[in-house]
Structures are given as C-alpha cells and as structure tokens.
Structure 1
C-alpha cells in the first residue's frame, strides 16, 4: 500500500500543479526540437549519398 501511495501522490501533485496548457507547451517544444534534429539528419544523409555518387563518376 505504501509503495502504491509513493507512485500515485506525485502524479496527483503534478496534475494539480501544472496546467494543461503548460504541459502541452512542453510536449510541443520537445517535439519541435526532435523534428528539427530529424530534418537536419535526413539532409546530412542525402548530402552524404550525393557526395559518394559524385566521387565515383
């Protein structure tokens, strides 16, 4: 029972202390950062592949 309370009490505190707008804002900021990283990684891979093909010709 004590272990269950240790898990549930922080969840209730977080849900009451953070408004839903703050939580959603944090999720979107993290998502935007990951999205930018993925786009840069894809561009780097494309540039790498193009440079490998242009050296062989």
Structure 2
C-alpha cells in the first residue's frame, strides 16, 4: 500500500489541478527545499570554520 501512495497523490493532483498549477507547486517545493538546504550547509561550514580557527579565548 505504501508503494502506491505517491502514485495516488500524483493522480489526485493531476485530476484536481491544471497542469500549470501542478508544475508551479512542484517548482515551489523544490525551490524552498533548495533554499533551506543551502542555508543549512552554509551554517554548518561557518560553525566548522569557527571551531577550527576560533581558538580558545582562555
């Protein structure tokens, strides 16, 4: 049953939305996923650089 869930969602979207709205929704989700991923990666790089080059202030 779990295998067919994504297929069922695609079928639901295909029947309820026009093709332009469906494509728009996919690209919006992709864009926000990409933005969040980039922010997380940059934050991790900054954190690692601070740990490596920050040194201890003791």
Band of TM-score, shorter chain:
0.5 to 0.7
Q: TM-score, normalised by structure 1?
A: 0.68
Q: Which has the higher contact order (CA 8 A, sep 6+)?
A: 2
CA RMSD, aligned part only? 2.1
Structure 2: any 5+ residue segments left out of the alignment? 1-7
Residue 44 of structure 2 corresponds to residue 45 of structure 1: yes
Q: TM-score, normalised by structure 2?
A: 0.67
Q: Deviations over 1:28-54 (max 9, x none)?
A: 001000000000001000000100001
Runs of 4+ off more than 2 Å: 14-17
| Higher Cα Rg, which structure | 1
Q: Give the total of aligned pairs.
A: 47
Bigger proportion of residues as helix? 1
Q: Which residue of 1 aligns with 2:27?
A: 28
